[in-house]
Amino acid sequence: MSAPAVAVLGTLDTKGAEVGFVVERLAAAGLRTVVVDTGSSAPGGGPRPDVAVRDAVALAGDGDRGAAVAALAEGARTAVLALRAEGRLDGALAVGGTGGTSLAAHALRALPLGVPKAVVSTAASGDTRPYIGETDLVLMPSVVDVAGLNSVSTRVLANACDAVAGMVRGAPVERPAAGATVAASMFGVTTPAVTRARELMEERGDEVLVFHMTGTGGRALESLADGGALDGVLDLTTTELADELVGGVMSAGPGRLGGGPRVPRVVSLGALDMVNFGPRETVPERFADRRLLVHNPTVTLMRTTPAECAELGARLAARAAAREGPTAVLLPLRGVSAVAGQGGPFHDPDADAALFGAVRDGLAGTGVRVEELDTDINDPTFADAAVAVLAELGGTTEEK
């Protein structure tokens, strides 16, 4: 069998020496390389490219750098997907500054989950979400600028090469044959419910992928659903909708509850009693008179009001009704989180009534199944009911 192949991405008009070092290091490890030149002009040095992206895209001649980078990024994406389809890409490694990172990350995010992909970047600190998105792309800090070879840059690049080499040579992770693959949405205040549900499904031979609903978690869940990787979704925790509505820090955006339209999904109202902010001092001043709860030093929770809950219920109902696949919504009438039940700091019967009423009204006559349970979301009976309903919808294995 031939050695694994690693696609090496870089702008050879400015990063030829760095790309050349990477190619030589990977070759010394016994790997094949495919050089993908993402530069906008002819190479200024370095290895000969196997793919020159600029030859396949139309670059405007008006000097618009942003447009040129966008075109090259899309061309690079097409190139790496073609290499993967041809069996010429077992992993990928890119080097670049902010522009090169943006370009390479756009391309590499398109590769499937599990395909090794990394970028040595000057942008690998701070907010890296625009580069990584909901993928397993690895950003490695370049420490010094990607501008020539020196004692620091060569060590960093060598480590990156060795890491990718190890990943592409690693034996596949084999899992026992499983039943359904189910995604579950969880937050700290809904952990007991999701944990019990996960254990029930795993006992039946299902694989359960739990996502933390921090914005990124919700987007990752929807991405997998869109990609056809899931048989069902146990969406008990929809708290990200509250952040989207009110302006918290953990919004998953308007795509939440829209992924995988034909995948069976059980939806509930977990943690819609709260909006998430950072440390207490970061809560916007306009919310100074609201009911706040310091969850930990880095997370402050704010109770949603009856008016906000009414709008959240309406939004959730509209998105659930718009789904094409089997859908059910479960209402835990005694509390939607660990802090919202009787005696809890976020207990608010008026807000809960507004939330439940809006869901009922929004789903009336839609065909979406609605079940009301006289318990809180973390009671074991709620998890049992949720799993049973998902099994009836075809999203998890039936109890034996």
Distance CA 150, CA 122 (A): 15
46 and 144 in a common domain: yes
Q: Kindly list the strands in the beta sheet with 32-37, ordered across the sheet, starting from the edge strand earlier in the chain.
A: 51-52, 32-37, 5-10, 91-96, 117-121, 138-141
164 and 185 in a common domain: no
Radius of gyration of the chain (CA): 24
162 and 263 in a common domain: no
For residue 235, the surrounding DSSP H or E stretch is strand 232-237
In the predicted structure, residue 2 carries a pLDDT above the cut 90: no
Q: Is residue 77 part of a domain?
A: yes
pLDDT at 349: 97
pTM of the model: 0.80
In the predicted structure, residue 34 carries a pLDDT above the cut 80: yes
CB proximity list for 63: less than 8 A, separation 6 or greater: none
Contact predicate 300/367, CB 8 Å: no
Final residue of a domain: which of 147, 169, 191? 169
Structural domain for 59, as ranges: 5-169
pLDDT at 375: 97
Final residue of a domain: which of 169, 199, 218? 169
Q: Is residue 174 part of a domain?
A: no
pLDDT tens digits along 126-139: 778 888 888 899 99
- Number of H helices and E strands in the chain, helices first, is 11, 15
105 and 26 in a common domain: yes
Distance CA 248, CA 241 (A): 9
Domain count, the chain: 2
Distance CA 89, CA 83 (A): 6
25 and 111 in a common domain: yes
Final residue of a domain: which of 144, 169, 194? 169
pLDDT tens digits along 269-302: 999 999 999 999 999 999 999 999 998 889 999 9
185 and 74 in a common domain: no
